[in-house]
Structure 1
């Protein structure tokens, strides 16, 4: 398998949700367990970046083949969390060819989409493989070639990798993800999606 680890960002405090997104119920398990089970078949290495609620989440992942990265300064924002995670990963494995990044609050993104992203990646082409919704929105999940690691390690605040995507549109390949790129940010969105996709519960 190509040497491209997957990073699941799950460090946030879930302010708009009002409770930890990572612990929400989804398909008869916690959301973070569901996400890990979705991602693991697509990658040789999965890193999960934790911050807020890490002591509550850690026991849920003890039986999974994942590497946990704890970011104590998670309050600084998603950009800082991602930058820290990539720094740690590069120390462990400096020869990786790229990195695939996804978010805890997009439970509709499926295994097939991650595999499609990986299949579209060509080493050494400075590519960015981003996801695009049917409505035309594009962004995460996103796969970055190693060429972008320096920029990714300098991220800060809440912007995440959006600025890098904007600056490099010419090198970005968009992979359609249908209507799966819904961010589950609020209780209202969660309840709506839960009722639709968890009918047995």
Structure 2
């Protein structure tokens, strides 16, 4: 599966929020690591230096840098002529150390001697790089004295493991990034102030509920479940093959209980571990962005045991993610109460994740609200 869906701006914002010094992007071959890095650089105003390797048609692996010989390419790997192991996952290359000595190491030295304040990009670090001791020492000196954005090949070597485990390094694995989180789309509201079922009201060419489903696709959740009491929503789910749970319960606590019970049951029956967190997505906030939703999820996965929710100017809103430690309480909420009961009960356990635009947190209660948000969209 190609996971180029990861939002570059969300990753950059998350990285800065963590206060880490370096960020490594890893994932399986063809997962879009370099694609993500290139998109990240478009959002960065900082200038940078670059060390880049790639496989040629020869095939050889070559390396180049803007700091060395006008980007001249130097060979760092050639195909093995014997002892090829089909299970070696691309390690059937023999290192050519001269490429590291004449290009990679001088590039790092020049960067540290002239512009250590700049970001240094490495695309990529892998098996060959792990085989050159002098280059390893240069990289670790670079990490000690500058800022690095690197693509890391997804394999285990002593060198790669060592630098990935540094406390100043943030590692983003883009393979199934958000699968540990499940999503419940809340679609059971009675729309009392709206005058009709707002979930099927048109917003910019599709229903509010369909907008919510589209927002849920901003992250590749392990499971997404719509919880509803409305026939119209059920018909949309059936037509678009959306996993849903239909009920006739009157209160919010019952909707939460039913959704959480189904999510946990589905994971148990399929032999999967229960999700690390469950995100509750409202159906009436059509302007939630991909960047904000992914930033919320990245923040949750970073903390692991915190309740995370979107906010604007420290004013908390939705969506909200609850970690597994709160599932029992979600299943036993007081009558008519939703997840907000737990955020008020445990305020010290809540992490607020900022959105850029207050309109992302606006919910639609009346037809005038739709008119106002459409005017905002222009």
Return the TM-score normalized by structure 2. Answer: 0.48
Indicate the residue corresponding to 1:18 in structure 2: 195
Does the residue aligned with 1:140 lie in a helix, a strand or coil? strand
Does the residue aligned with 1:122 lie in a helix, a strand or coil? helix
Does the residue aligned with 2:209 lie in a helix, a strand or coil? helix
The offset of 1:190, in angstroms, is 2.2
Relative to structure 1, is the Cα distance of residues 110 and 170 closer, same or farther in structure 2, using a 3 angstrom cutoff? same
Does the residue aligned with 1:47 lie in a helix, a strand or coil? strand
| Greater RCO, 1 or 2 (C-alpha within 8 Å, sep 6+) | 1
2:374 to 182, 185, 194: 194
2:296 to 117, 121, 124: 117
The offset of 1:194, in angstroms, is 2.8
Aligned pairs for 1:1-201 within 5 A: 1=176, 2-44=179-221, 45-51=223-229, 53=230, 55-73=231-249, 75=250, 77-94=251-268, 95-122=274-301, 125-134=304-313, 136-177=314-355, 178-179=357-358, 180-197=360-377, 199=378
Deviations 1:26-83 (A, max 9, x none): 12111111211121131332111111x2x2122223354531011221x2x2222112
Return the TM-score normalized by structure 1. Answer: 0.87
Relative to structure 1, is the Cα distance of residues 156 and 110 closer, same or farther in structure 2, using a 3 angstrom cutoff? farther
Q: Would you say the 8 A contact 1:9–1:49 is kept in 2?
A: yes
Q: Distance in 2 between matches of 1:196 and 1:122?
A: 32
In the alignment of these two chains, the number of paired residues is 193
Structure 1 moving runs of 4+ over 6 Å? none
Which has the larger Rg?
2
- Over the aligned positions, Cα root-mean-square deviation in angstroms equals 1.9
Q: Distance in 1 between matches of 2:232 and 2:227?
A: 14
Q: Would you say the 8 A contact 1:123–1:145 is kept in 2?
A: no
Q: Would you say the 8 A contact 2:212–2:282 is kept in 1?
A: no
